[in-house]
Amino acid sequence: MQNLAIPESEHRNRKRELVERAKEDGYDGLVLFGALNIHYISGMYHLPTERPVALGVTDERVEAVVPRLEQEHASREDFPIDDVTTYFEYPQDDPMDRVAEMCKRLGLANGTVAVDSDGSPSRNGYAGPSLSELVPANVGVEDYITDMRETKSDAEVELIREASVWANLGHRLLQERIEVGRRPIEVRAEVEADAVKTMLDTLGDRYEMRSWANPMQCLFTTGEVTELPHSMDQTTRIERGDNIVTIVKPNVGGYTTELERTMFVGEVSDEQRTYFEIMRESQEIAIDAIEPGVEYAAVEEAVVDYYEEQGVAKYTQHHVGHNIGMEGHERPFLDVDQDGEIRSGELFTVEPGFYMPDLGGFRHSDTVLVTEDGTKTLTYYPRDLESLIV
């Protein structure tokens, strides 16, 4: 992929669609406070702190209010923002007063305005006023951008496809470095350093970091720790016979992918082999069930039916998958209580798994694109057992 970013033209199209959605509901314009929402609409990314950042959007103009330390960045020519207003610092200044003034300039202060939240989120100690306290406008909280992000454009898919290429490299390096006696956190640090170096050396100036997070996360848990899908314990030493459950997540152009594998250290027991094959078959069942027009719930129902046949249903701890893109978890979800039907352009992590007491977890995850006639799996690391023995 030549340009590792969403083009400015797409941000302008997103802005147009957002305004149209708001107008259909009777709004004159919008004010956005969420960092991810601002990024999605304008391309302008920033480090969210206690300092409020706001984006005002109407048919005619897009304006931003930012702290002084974001001024040069927010004023970049490739961000379709017409004007940037700054304040020095919070709590020294009254940043929400600057937002109220922006609303007046945009003709929103006395009208009807849609927001993603009524004021800046309370984070890092921020405790400022809501927008509705400062302007006489009718303020309505709406979730338009989360809806828009459910299906991906061609440019978004290409960024996630590029990230999936690097996921393959990251996982290969991870598997090569796993050794008995080592701690996962030690291996992770080495692998991420090497993987990021190779990634940045290859992509060069085309790659731009959009947060302080590592461009590639390569982590895993080992042994009985894998019984807990979200365990943060990466200090337990690797032992022969362990299950290992990995997760590799690169980020390219503000978009991520997900690659997870269940691996084994040394000889694989008959019990581990049996559960591995059940898990791998369940992922195939889920992927085969995905196509446009199929209910989200039906995908998980197919996996649950299979798990009940195999006697492992009671060992599940989460749904089959979720949408992915700018965040690692987005809606809609492959869940028995998710309403609606799958659409072309959605992307899902497909990760049915179960967690056996005193043995460990069994889960693969791949990023799957929904196409007009089925699916295309963007991650491609080997899924068979023999390839995943350390």
| Burial class of residue 143 (count of CB atoms within 10 Å of its CB; 0-12, 13-18, 19+) | exposed
pLDDT for residue 25: 98
Position 37 pLDDT exceeds 80: yes
Tokens of 178: 């796993």
Question: In this structure, which CATH number among 3.40.50.720, 3.30.300.30, 3.40.350.10, 2.60.120.10 belongs to the domain 8-148?
Answer: 3.40.350.10
The DSSP symbol for 327 reads: S
pLDDT for residue 1: 63
pTM of the model: 0.96
Q: What is the pLDDT of residues 317-364, one digit of tens each?
A: 999 999 999 999 999 999 999 999 999 999 999 999 999 999 999 999
Long-range pairs, 19-26, Cβ under 8 A, ≥24: 19/57, 19/58, 19/59, 21/144, 21/148, 22/114, 22/142, 22/144, 25/114, 25/140, 25/142, 26/112
**CATH superfamily of the 154-388 domain:** Creatinase/methionine aminopeptidase superfamily (3.90.230.10)
Q: What percent of the chain has pLDDT over 90?
A: 99
Is the fold of 8-148 the same as that of 154-388?
no
Domain ranges of the chain: 8-148, 154-388
Q: What is the pLDDT of residues 153-188, one digit of tens each?
A: 999 999 999 999 999 999 999 999 999 999 999 999
